[in-house]
Structure 1
Amino acid sequence: MFYYTTGVDAGDVIEQRSVPVEPRDTVGTVFDRLAVAACELLDVVREPLEQGAIEAMPQDLSKATYRPRRQPQDGLVDWSMSCEEISDWIRAQTHPYPGAYTFHRGTKLRIWECEVFSESATTQNPGTVVNVSSGSGFDVETGDGVVRVVRVTPDGDPSQWADEYAESSGLTQGTVLSAAEAPPEWIQTGIRPARGHNSAAFETNLTLGEQGSVDVLTRTGRPRTVGVVAELDGERIFGDHREVTGEHCCNVEYTPSTSGTHTLKVLFDVDDEVRDVRYLKLFVTERAD
């Protein structure tokens, strides 16, 4: 709980509390826990606030971390990740969010529930269905093992058990789930941490003179003309324009010249129309003596 200011969650902290996140949790159950904790905090601070007796704690903005605003299209499952990473990815995007997703024979398939089935990899490529288990779900190869998909929603249909979907849709052992199975009209644009960095860690906290970078990604189901322009505080620092089929990724580097808060803007132009705009906040501190 903190005071509202014009900065990004930058106000002085009034009180704080953490809640546990268990392997069985989803983002929805964590929100429920946080709601209970918030009510408890209000009971604790209401009287001191009314009396003006709160001693709020300033935040150390140099330790702040920033992430770009997510969009539903960002939920594509990368089956090359580890079993635990995929499980966390899916649990973090369940209701009330639109859900993580993959593609099967041109159908967008939202995945609401999965479990780590085996942490021993098979000889199959990530995204390959290695087994369909009646009454349980279907098993998919990952980067380091196998996850069992339990609950899904195919586009245009109600949610259903994964094994029932497999039976009705013809999903069998050897079926591959991936962006390559997307319909021709599908397109995904966005930014992600630069290759070689932790998948959740954007380079947003820099010292003056330090360079950061971000990967700019386009995936499309058919050939498209894609333009990408990146600006740092309104000044153009990168431009690329090309025909894209399948997947294309380029790296954008940035080196803010002053300390303080900066904004990286990445604009995607697809077939001569602005398709997407992404923003990333950067925080730059002076070098220590």
Structure 2
Amino acid sequence: MLMKKTTLVVCAYHNVGYRCLEELLRQGADVRLIFTHEDSPTEEIWFASVRELADRHGIPWRTTDVNLPENQALLRELAPDFLFSFYYRNMIKGEVLDIPRCGALNLHGSYLPRYRGRVPVNWAVINGETETGATLHYMVEKPDAGDIVDREKVEIAFTDTALDVFNKVTVAAVTVISRSFPLLVAGTAPRQPMDLGAGSYFGGRKPADGLIDWTKGAKQIYNLVRGVTHPYPGAFTFRAGKKVIIWQAWPVAGSGAPGAIVSTAPLVVGTGDGLLEIRTLQEEGAPEQPAAAWIAATGLTGGTFAND
């Protein structure tokens, strides 16, 4: 336990928010207020509730934007030593970042400066990376650009989905908070300037971005499939005018015209480089099912998957 308590305000959501907040409380931090989000009715809520954790510890919380004038006034009244952001979805304005006495810090789900920006885990998987990580850094107005305090790498296996990697990143995030928070309290935490020139920035993704381009290679399409499969909206294509979500697939050797069904046992589709075996899918208006069951139900013997 820490020798003295440090007052905090925490902006948190999702599993990273839950687990990092839990670690701060384990270390004895005095969390005065939490800002979080209302769950969206259009989003699959598969992650832990920061609000429930706050309630169990008797910590007040708000779901209104931390940047609102009334919330800024409350922060100035609380005068916290630190402000932490753990997967909080709103950009935090400079006037808010200036309030905490010892600084405002963010936990980002990549090994910065690589994959600055939105949904870094999904992008890393989609791009076929073999590693990513979690980074604690000071916040400035430019996204994910402040001095780095600590980082932890994680491996991305070729079989990992984005959810698998997100779970690994969550563990890495807790590791980073566990060893960094005592140093921050003691005033001895390192500060490494962010080398933005050595990194990369990616924007957010929409469900429509999951459209499969069959002219790309089988490995690229496979990476897209595993990068946006459950609990995300999924990679999709079209057959006979119906949307088909590909939930699970695997690249295999061979060749075929992009989008052409070259085999139905198993279901194999041509790409711009190699073949893609489709293992689990979901046609519009039907349940998710193994490819063999879909073939049997539709009586499919060939054809082509298209972009629309």
TM-score (norm 1): 0.57
Uncovered stretches (5+) of structure 2, i.e. residues with no partner = 1-135
- Which of 99, 121, 126 is residue 255 of structure 2 equivalent to? 121
TM-aligned CA deviation for residue 74 of structure 1? 1.1
Q: RMSD in angstroms over aligned alpha carbons?
A: 1.4
TM-aligned CA deviation for residue 62 of structure 1? 3.0
Q: Secondary structure at the match of 2:267?
A: strand
Partner of 1:17: 152
Q: Secondary structure at the match of 2:150?
A: coil
Q: Secondary structure at the match of 2:262?
A: strand
d(CA) in 2 for partners of 1:76, 1:51: 49
CA distances 1:193-239 after superposition (whole Å, capped 9, x unpaired)? xxxxxxxxxxxxxxxxxxxxxxxxxxxxxxxxxxxxxxxxxxxxxxx
- Which of 65, 72, 75 is residue 200 of structure 2 equivalent to? 65
TM-aligned CA deviation for residue 108 of structure 1? 0.7
Question: Which residue type is aligned with residue 280 of structure 2?
Answer: R
d(CA) in 2 for partners of 1:81, 1:156: 27
- 1:23-102 alignment, distance < 5 Å: 23-102=158-237
State yes or no: 1:177 paired with 2:305: yes
Q: Secondary structure at the match of 2:251?
A: strand
Runs of 4+ in 1 over 3 A off after TM superposition: none
Question: Which residue type is aligned with residue 159 of structure 1?
Answer: E
TM-aligned CA deviation for residue 9 of structure 1? 0.8
d(CA) in 2 for partners of 1:50, 1:154: 54
Partner of 1:7: 142
Count of residues in Structure 1 that have an aligned counterpart in Structure 2: 173
State yes or no: 1:139 paired with 2:271: no
Uncovered stretches (5+) of structure 1, i.e. residues with no partner = 183-289
TM-aligned CA deviation for residue 83 of structure 1? 1.5
Partner of 2:111: none
- Give 1 or 2: higher strand fraction: 1
d(CA) in 2 for partners of 1:61, 1:145: 36
State yes or no: 1:159 paired with 2:288: yes
Question: Which residue type is aligned with residue 246 of structure 2?
Answer: I
TM-aligned CA deviation for residue 29 of structure 1? 0.2
d(CA) in 2 for partners of 1:4, 1:112: 36
d(CA) in 2 for partners of 1:32, 1:130: 36
- Give 1 or 2: higher helix fraction: 2
TM-aligned CA deviation for residue 162 of structure 1? 1.2
CA distances 1:239-273 after superposition (whole Å, capped 9, x unpaired)? xxxxxxxxxxxxxxxxxxxxxxxxxxxxxxxxxxx
Single out whichever of 96-105 and 154-163 deviates more from structure 2: 154-163
